[in-house]
């Protein structure tokens, strides 16, 4: 009887540990990363981890779910700088860095990545929209997508609040502006993140 009870408790503990380690494929939101100011780990490592995790969630959902599309490693992706949600004509060091890291992670995962330093807007307001709301890919970006035979465009926006910067990454079909997949996450704003965001009102992409 005692042996049976020990075996039962062992199996229960095993099941609980496996459940705790599993992650849902459709997790499209990540809670803010917790940064302990007393630790010496640099913000840059948190930023890289957040960008890589966003790409990993996208690829996990696409490769392991029943979504009605797939990303082909034989056809290129276009990755752009991430832009300020309040004025999509502008980015910042933060937005450009996130775009670089997202493109890097796709390349590390075996995808062909075309990196573009856009000369003009990557977004335009959707019909009937003002300075905020829904946006579509610009004609320039759609033309470049067709020129490079890109299967999708990776774009993103961010919004800086007092203590947190919120980021959205999207996989967009350039042919029809349909969002194929998106994921949201956030980062704490410390002095390093503030510095990366500082130039966003000074210069365009």
Selected residue with higher pLDDT from 59 and 63: 59
Residues forming beta bridges with residue 157, ordered by sequence position? 83, 168
Ramachandran sector of residue 128 (left: φ over 0; alpha: ψ -120 to 50; beta: rest): left
Domain map of the chain by residue range? 28-201
Tens of pLDDT, residues 148-160: 899 999 999 999 9
Any idea what the Cα angle at residue 92 is, between residues 146 and 107, rounded to 5°? Answer: 45
Separation CA 9–CA 16 (nearest Å): 11
pLDDT band at 183 (very low <50, low <70, confident <90, very high): very high
Question: Residue for token digits 């009937």?
Answer: 128
Domain 28-201 has CATH 3.40.50.10610: yes
């Amino acid at each position: 009887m005692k042996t049976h009870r020990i075996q039962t408790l062992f199996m229960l503990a095993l099941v609980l540990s496996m459940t705790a380690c599993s992650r849902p494929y459709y997790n499209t939101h990540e809670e803010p990363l917790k940064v302990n100011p007393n630790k010496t780990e640099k913000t840059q490592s948190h930023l890289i981890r957040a960008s890589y995790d966003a790409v990993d969630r996208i690829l996990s959902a696409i490769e392991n779910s029943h979504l009605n599309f797939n990303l082909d490693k034989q056809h290129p992706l276009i990755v752009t700088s991430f832009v300020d949600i309040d004025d999509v004509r502008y980015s910042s060091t933060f937005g450009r860095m996130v775009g670089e890291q997202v493109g890097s992670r796709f390349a590390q995962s075996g995808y062909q990545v075309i990196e573009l330093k856009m000369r003009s807007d990557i977004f335009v307001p959707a019909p009937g929209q003002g300075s905020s709301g829904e946006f579509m890919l610009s004609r320039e970006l759609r033309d470049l997508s067709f020129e490079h035979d890109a299967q999708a465009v990776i774009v993103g926006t961010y919004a800086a609040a007092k203590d947190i910067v919120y980021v959205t990454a999207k996989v967009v079909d350039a042919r029809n502006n349909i969002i194929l997949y998106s994921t949201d996450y956030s980062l704490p704003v410390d002095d390093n993140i503030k510095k990366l965001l500082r130039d966003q009102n000074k210069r365009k992409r």
